[in-house]
Amino acid sequence: MDRVARHYARGGIAPRILAALRAAGIDQVTPETLAPLDQFHARGVDATRDLIAALGASAGEQVLDIGCGIGGPARMLAAESGAGVTGLDLTQDYCAAARTLNHAAGLGDRVTVVRGDALALPFADGTFDAATCQYVAMNIADKALLYAEARRVLRPGGAFALSGFAAGSAGAPTYPTPWAETAATSFLATPAATRAELLAAGFAIARFHDATPALLATHAALRKRLRAEGPPALGLHVMLGDRIREQQRNSARAVDEGRLIALEVLCRKPRF
């Protein structure tokens, strides 16, 4: 897991993001204004909003975001649902940035950030009403344990919303990608294997959706906008540097070629 943490590690993230907002003339720090900078996954804020709708969390509930990154989805979930959110991430730099941005957005009392391992969640059984895991499983070889841990910390009837890339039929993607420099830290499972492992972990699957067509449409719209307007001032490059551009190109090409499939899944822990 150290190699995974090193892939994502970047110091000074929150100051760069806040400075970029000021330079763009944006005075208010909110989940909306942060969205171009903190939604580090395919389809960005659109995917997060779909996840929030599927989860159906409400005020008074407690939600765990496994692999929260710098906290973008967790902040949006807290702001839009009223739920309390705990974000967990392996990378210290991301946890530090998430805490700073939570306070800057006025959500420091609604979003808690914990550094920890998704394969050994530091929470008691049945702690959360719901859990999410966006574009994290590609870095985890032992998906059976990942899903078992998610189920363990959920209360009976709790929802688990999972999204990420699955292996397509056309072979491996070209690296680097946003989640891995090389294949050594990339663990893509097929959709069939994902379904089987979730069922084996004891989840009931409510929705198993191939979001690849929506992602292809997002890519087409982005390319059109880039041709017309050029690169945006606010984007993931503020957090990750220019290396993200090559990683995103490789990922987008892999989706186009059928090497990656975008999955969005909603499961539930049985009540009995």
**Per-residue confidence at 201, pLDDT binned at 50, 70, 90?**
very high
Cα separation, 229 vs 214, whole angstroms: 22
pLDDT reported for residue 193: 98
Q: What is the DSSP letter of 180?
A: B
Answer whether 85's CB lies under 8 Å from 152's CB. Answer: no
- pLDDT tens digits, 62-108: 999 999 999 999 999 999 999 999 999 999 999 999 999 999 999 99
Q: List the chain domain ranges.
A: 2-268
Answer whether 35's CB lies under 8 Å from 72's CB. Answer: yes
Please report, rounded to a whole number, the percentage of residues in the chain having pLDDT higher than 90: 92
Cα separation, 135 vs 144, whole angstroms: 16
Give Cα 272 to chain centroid, integer Å.
29
Cα separation, 190 vs 47, whole angstroms: 20
- pLDDT tens digits, 110-148: 999 999 999 999 999 999 999 999 999 999 999 999 999
Q: Which CATH number fits domain 2-268: 3.40.50.150, 3.40.50.1000, 2.40.33.20, 3.30.300.30?
A: 3.40.50.150
- pLDDT tens digits, 5-47: 555 657 799 999 999 999 999 999 999 999 999 999 999 999 9
Answer whether 132's CB lies under 8 Å from 66's CB. Answer: yes
Answer whether 67's CB lies under 8 Å from 133's CB. Answer: yes
